[in-house]
Structure 1
Amino acid sequence: MSSSAETETSKIPAAAPDAATATTNTPAASATGSRYAWRVVDIIIASVIGVASGIVFWAWGLAYNGLSAPLQLLPGLSAILGGGWLFAGVLGGLVIRKPGAAIYTEVLAAVVSALIGTQWGFLTLESGLVQGLGAELVFLAFAYRKFGLGVATLAGAAAGVTLAINDLILWYPGVDVGFQAVYFVSAIVSGAVIAGIGSYYLVRALARTGALSRFAAGQETAEAV
């Protein structure tokens, strides 16, 4: 009787591992690699952001002289307009959430504006690279895992810092400390408000339309609603 029971028991197939076990056994490197890898849709949307932002950059450049004229009353205050050239990197980083997104969108925007024609010529490309790097470093510091209002504001502010450093070296060498201080503060505030906070709420607005349904940014907004 015992022998027969053992034989019958041996015929019962082993239970398949449950979903939790299967998930636990999935290599971490594979999951991480998938999260950081760019999809075709990421490239397409990042490119759309870059091109559209480049047109805005160009238009902002046309308006710059008129807008900055009254700001000359306080030397260095013109940097308060800098955020109009910083939002592409922050916006791209918030939407794509992958390494290199901020740099890619900011540089592409700079290329587009330069091709259309700007008063600063192809030095715009160098500025785009530096400014995109500023935002990228903030997303990197949070391991591309946090994209809230605080991180967006920091990314915009960091882009403002790199803008100020780059501009003071290229366009304003030898200016006095007062000018430098005002320029730095103005660029940081502009980057934080226009590029950082502005991009954060722009992403939320786009997400509500369903345009970002294939991205985490769009799914998070939909869940919140």
Structure 2
Amino acid sequence: MHETTRGTDRTHDVAGEPIAAETATDTSARRTSHWRVVDIVVASVIGVATGLVFLFWNNVGYAWFSAADALTPGLGGVAVGIWLIGGVLGGLIIRKPGAALYVELLAAIVSALIGNQWGIETIYSGLAQGLGAELVFLATGYRRFGVVTAMLAGAAAGLGAWTLELFTSGNLQKSAEFLFLYLGTVVASGAILAGLLGWLVVRALAATGALNRFAAGRDVTGRV
């Protein structure tokens, strides 16, 4: 079932980026920016699930990070992307102000509470990374949720992580070569492992019908 257009309403911009559908319900939700109960519940589930993914990545991903960094200092950033995926998932699925920040921060809190090698600094990272992703969705007016927006959100989350680590990891004292290489690898990893992969995950979930109560699901299934 295809959604009919009304007046000048469009579902994609000239670059092919999906735009939130102009139904009466969606228009009202966008104007009020109010979270529904289902938004809170699903965002919380995504956050907890992502936190469990972080626990796995704290071992596998950190081993990759350490090996790459031993090869060339700064190259370890290629492994960072999975730690940035929460903000992308939250922003793409919930599509409400604060969703990207909430999901990434909650995932970081779950990871820290269960236990990892970084302790409370994990929460600071979740805040910085979630804020980076959130700012990208904010810049689109919470209306564009395609692969380009997802990859930009992942890259911005990486920039947030890189900025925080200037101070929490002492990176500010390291060489310019390290800083530029680490910036490049973290941002690229964020764009691919958080942005592109996150977008693919959302589409896969939507195809199962699990997201039919969200515009993210209806964009894929064609439901109205």
> What are the equivalent positions in structure 2 for 1:113-124 lying under 5 Å apart?
113-124=111-122
Provide the residue aligned with 1:67 in structure 2. Answer: 64
**Structure 1: gaps (5+ residues):** 1-19, 21-25
Q: Distance in 2 between matches of 1:128 and 1:212?
A: 25
The amino acid of 1:104's aligned partner reads: Y
TM-score normalised according to structure 2 size: 0.84
Q: How far has the Cα of 1:31 moved from its partner? A: 5.8
Deviations along 1:179-211, one digit per CA (max 9) or x if unpaired, are 001100000000000110011110000000010
Provide the residue aligned with 2:146 in structure 1. Answer: 148
User: Is the 2:150–2:199 Cα contact (8 Å) retained in structure 1?
Assistant: yes
Provide the residue aligned with 1:54 in structure 2. Answer: 51
> Which one of the candidate residues 45, 54, 60 is aligned to 2:42?
45
Which structure has the higher relative contact order (CA within 8 Å, separation 6+)? 2
Provide the residue aligned with 1:131 in structure 2. Answer: 129
Deviations along 1:55-91, one digit per CA (max 9) or x if unpaired, are 1111111223422233121110111111111000110
Q: How far has the Cα of 1:214 moved from its partner? A: 0.1
Q: Distance in 2 between matches of 1:169 and 1:179?
A: 15
The reply to whether residue 81 of structure 1 matches residue 82 of structure 2 is no
User: Is the 2:62–2:79 Cα contact (8 Å) retained in structure 1?
Assistant: no
Provide the residue aligned with 1:183 in structure 2. Answer: 182
Q: Distance in 2 between matches of 1:216 and 1:32?
A: 12
- Out of 159-168 and 208-217, give the one that drifted further: 159-168
Aligned residues: 197
Q: Distance in 1 between matches of 2:176 and 2:45?
A: 40
- Out of 105-114 and 167-176, give the one that drifted further: 167-176
User: Is the 2:51–2:106 Cα contact (8 Å) retained in structure 1?
Assistant: yes
Q: Distance in 1 between matches of 2:183 and 2:63?
A: 21
Deviations along 1:89-138, one digit per CA (max 9) or x if unpaired, are 11000000000000000000000000110100011111100100000000
- Aligned residue for 1:86, secondary structure, equals helix
TM-score normalised according to structure 1 size: 0.84
The reply to whether residue 214 of structure 1 matches residue 207 of structure 2 is no
Q: CA RMSD in A?
A: 1.7
Q: Percent identical across equivalent pairs?
A: 52
